[in-house]
Structure 1
Amino acid sequence: LPKVHEHDNHPPQALALFEDKRIILVYTFESDLGDGWEDASVHQDPFPIREAALKMGVNIIYFALTQ
C-alpha cells in the first residue's frame, strides 16, 4: 500500500471486511489513494508515488470485478 502523503510517521494500512471468506469492503488509512490520482500539480506528489497509487487502485478494482 503506497504512502501518498507524509502527514505523520505512521505506516499506511489497509483493512478488509469479509463475508463468507470474500472481501466486501477495503478501508485504507494513512494512505489517501485519491490524492495520488489527482493531477500532478494539485498535491505535488512525485510520479513514482502517483503511479503506485494508480496501480493499487487498479488492483482493487480488478480484484472486485473478478471475484
Structure 2
Amino acid sequence: MGSTTDKISGKTNEIAGKAKQAIGKATNDPALRGEGAAQETKGKAQVATGKVKDKLKGAVDRL
C-alpha cells in the first residue's frame, strides 16, 4: 500500500474504533469496547506507517 492509502485506512479504522468504543460504553458491552480499542490502535499504527513511508520517500528523493 502507498503512504496515502495507509493514512486513509488508518484514519478510517481510528474513527470506527472510537465509534465502537462509544457504542460499547453506551450499551455496557465490554467486548465491543475492547474491539473498538483494538481497531483504534490498528488505525494509529497504519497512520504511523504511512507517515514513515512519506519520510522514507522524501529521504530517497533527496539523494
TM-score, normalised via structure 1 length: 0.45
Greater fraction of residues in helix? 2
Larger Rg: 2
**With structure 2 as the length reference, what TM-score do the two structures score?**
0.47
Q: Which has the higher contact order (CA 8 A, sep 6+)?
A: 2
Q: Which has the higher strand share?
A: 1
